[in-house]
Amino acid sequence: MKKVEIYTLSYCPFCQKAKMFFNEHNLDFKEIPCDDDEEEKREELTKKFNLKTLATFPQIIINDKNIGGYSDLIEKYNSKQISFD
């Protein structure tokens, strides 16, 4: 079983799409809402995962590895770089 965390903002449509993706695939995930400290979380995630640019939302973490945002998730899933078997 994979450990999935999603850092989200309530108003972010891609955050909603990421959560729908995991729900549709019957995968449990831990949502970490970032509305109260959005800029602080952006900086924290950028440093934690050594990102080249400031973190955007959602940030999807699978087994402690940063996958990126929703588009990155879909691209890696479709190209079979990640699977949920």
How do residues 32-84 score in pLDDT, each as one tens digit? Answer: 999 999 999 999 999 999 999 999 999 999 999 999 999 999 999 999 999 88
On the question of pLDDT at 1 being above 80, the answer is no
Strands (E), the chain: 4-8, 30-33, 59-62, 65-68
Q: What was the pLDDT predicted at 2?
A: 85
Which residue would you say has higher pLDDT here, 2 or 32? 32
Q: Is 23 left (phi over 0), alpha (psi -120 to 50) or beta?
A: alpha
pTM tops 0.75: yes
- 4-78 — its CATH code? 3.40.30.10
Q: Encode pLDDT of 11-40 as tens digits.
A: 999 999 999 999 999 999 999 999 999 999
